[in-house]
Structure 1
Amino acid sequence: MADFKIKRFPKSRIATNDVCAIGLKRHHIVALIEVDVSESWQKIKQYKKEGNKVSFTAWLVKMISNSIRDYENVAAYLQGKRTPIIFNDINISMAVEKDLNGQKVPMPLIIEKTNERSIESIQEEIDEAKNQNLTGKDIVLHRKSNKLERFYYILPGSIRRLFWRYLISHPHFAYGKMGNVAITSVGMMGRADGWFIPISVHPICFGIGRISKKPIVVNDKIEIREMLKMTVLLDHDVVDGGQMIRFISSLTGNIEKGWTPDP
């Protein structure tokens, strides 16, 4: 008989599988874009040299928030079939990779009101989440689990997914539990150069790839620039194609030129 070993399946993976099953049924339009971050990246590095603590991730969260603020429909939930619900604040869901019982496990973090927060404030919350000690009793909602949440994991998959269907069909409930924007930066954890397409139950989701150098034509001259690969998922049920294009254009411009350390 061949040798093998059995590893315990992390509870967080159960919820991830459920999200993927529901997310595949959403009408997301996928945009694969490449953004020149050369100038902003250099300014971030200089800002850090001056003693300020800020990461590219925290800065990107702020730039995305600024862009959505001007195109609020892209983060709207659909109530019923014809009523978009637009929340005034932008609450962003992202994963923080942590060591849990010797395994790397992505634990969700909700950063609230990023449209009002400074980059430094966003960075502080990310750092706090990374440094928080977790045990096997901590699960998907980034806090100590209660009895109802622990009960979730022993339910059959078909019953668990009813919860997610209920969640996304009730905008206020969904917004309170998981925000209205998702950001996943799996591509920045390794050296693989390319786009990846995430699966999400959020109205809008950003898949962040890695920054790589490549020759680009700038003012009719070839220059080596630092380019960020990004995937954007937009819910076609609440946003039409024209508005998607205008949002992507605004997002690209904000990332390329929108450096600001201010709130």
Structure 2
Amino acid sequence: MKKSFYKLSISRAEKNAWSFNKALAPENVVTLNVLISIEKLIQRRNEFKERNEITPSFTALVIKAAAITIKRHPEANRAILGLPLFKRLYQFTNTDISVAIEKSLPFLPGQPFVSPIRNPLGKSLQQITEELKNLAVAQEQDNEDFKLYMNILRYVPYPLSYLMINFPIWFPSFWSKYRGSACWVNSPSKTGADWLQTIWPWPMSFSFGVVKKRPMVVADKVEVQETMPLILVFDRRIMGGGPAGRVFATFAKVLETADPELFESSFQQGVG
């Protein structure tokens, strides 16, 4: 009988990257989601277009909203890190937000490379948007972190490569350097799915779905509005459902109301 499958001949880099998937399944996670209207946010984005300025991307807006949220709720900016039997709860004082950047290997399209956006509260939305664009096209020769990541994938045999990639889980200084704070932002559903819930090593994972018009009830009437699905995946060892719900409510409100703090750096720097 003719076989209907065959084994791919893959490189060490591809094998290592594939093996890391099991690192992206932390236990004890809970998921919250909500659909919000972003009519006010769209209006503010259009103001940038009218001034012929760089229009903030939705990812940039969500990154800054996440940073504002953990600044207002420092209890959410914590992680359980350390070697086995020596794990401790650590409080982060930075608001660096990590984001996934799609980089492809021949048999692993869309393999994520993680890069923290440093101090998003001190940057304008336009600066964050440009930084995201640069990361998307970055190559090894112009991004030291990406070069280090690819060198580990290519040249370090498994399981040593697995241990190196996961140093941040065991050593807080590595976490702060390579993964930022306790918060992470991604948008895996931007390719088409309205909602997609994922699990990552970060204790607080903020995601958003496809932005599009959907029916919403406003003042007891059904209206078609621009909407954004929001998802929070959190480690229930860090906080319970009540505190996490309040954190999520703050995050949603910042975006739904187009909180002025989202745009403060832009106007203060004279580019908004």
**Equivalent residue letter for 1:211:** V
1:93 aligns to what SS in structure 2?
strand
The amino acid across from 1:73 in the alignment is E
Aligned to 1:117: 123
Query: Which AA in structure 2 matches 1:94?
Result: V
**Amino acid aligned to 1:204:** M
The 3 A distance-change label for structure 1 pair 13 and 48 is: farther
Q: CA deviation at 1:109?
A: 2.2
Contact 1:206 1:231 in 2 (8 A): yes
Query: Are the counterparts in 1 of residues 203 and 235 from structure 2 also a CA contact under 8 Å?
Result: yes
SS in 1 for 2:146: coil
Correspondence for 1:74 among 73, 76, 88: 76
Judge conservation of contact 1:30–1:234 (CA < 8 Å) in 2: yes
Task: Give identity over the alignment, percent.
Answer: 20
Partner of 1:14 in structure 2? Answer: 16
1:96 to 2:101 alignment: yes
Cα separation, partners in 2 of 1:15 and 1:91, compared to 1, 3 Å: farther
The 1:196/1:148 distance shift into structure 2, 3 A limit, reads closer
Give secondary structure in 2 for the equivalent of 1:143.
helix
In the other structure, the counterpart of 1:26 is 27
For these two proteins, the number of residue pairs brought into alignment is 255
Q: Which residue of 1 aligns with 2:41?
A: 40
8 Å contact kept, 2:26–2:200? no
Q: CA RMSD in A?
A: 3.2
Q: Report what 2:91 is aligned to.
A: 86
Contact 2:103–2:110 (8 Å) recurs in 1: yes
The one-letter code matched in structure 1 to 2:119 is K
By how many angstroms is 1:12 displaced?
Answer: 6.2
> Which structure shows the bigger proportion of residues in helix conformation?
2
Contact 2:115/2:178 (CA < 8 Å) preserved in 1? no
Shift of 1:31: 1.0
Residue identity opposite 2:158 in structure 1: L
Shift of 1:221: 2.0
How much does 1:108 deviate? 2.4
Once the two structures are TM-superposed, the CA of residue 45 in structure 1 deviates from its matched residue by 2.5
Matched residue, 1:249: 249
TM-score computed with the length of structure 1 as normaliser: 0.81
Paired with 1:98 and 1:24, the residues of 2 have a C-alpha distance of 20
Query: Is the counterpart of residue 202 in structure 1 residue 215 in structure 2?
Result: no
Supply the AA of the counterpart residue of 1:28: V
Residues of 1 paired with 2:22 and 2:103: CA distance?
24
CA contact (8 A) 1:36 1:226 kept: yes
- Superposed displacement of residue 150, structure 1: 4.3
Corresponding residue SS for 2:102: strand
What is the CA distance between 1:23 and its match in structure 2? 3.6
Question: What's the counterpart of residue 143 of structure 1?
Answer: 147
* Structure 1 residues 89 and 16: alpha-carbon distance in aligned structure 2, compared to 1, 3 A threshold: farther
Residue 49 (structure 1) aligns with: 50
Residue 61 of structure 1 aligns with which residue? 63
In structure 2, distance between residues paired with 1:86 and 1:245: 20
- 1:233 and 2:237 aligned: no
> Match of 1:187?
189
- Gaps (5+ residues) in structure 1? none
* Cα contact 2:37–2:225 (8 A) shared by 1: yes
Q: Which amino acid aligns with 1:143?
A: K
Structure 1 position 33, deviation (Å): 1.9
CA distance in 1, matches of 2:88, 2:66: 24
Aligned AA (1:155): Y
Show the counterpart of 1:219: 219
1:26 deviation in Å? 2.7
User: What is the one-letter code of the residue matched to 1:220?
Assistant: D
What displacement does 1:163 show? Answer: 4.8
SS in 1 for 2:237: coil
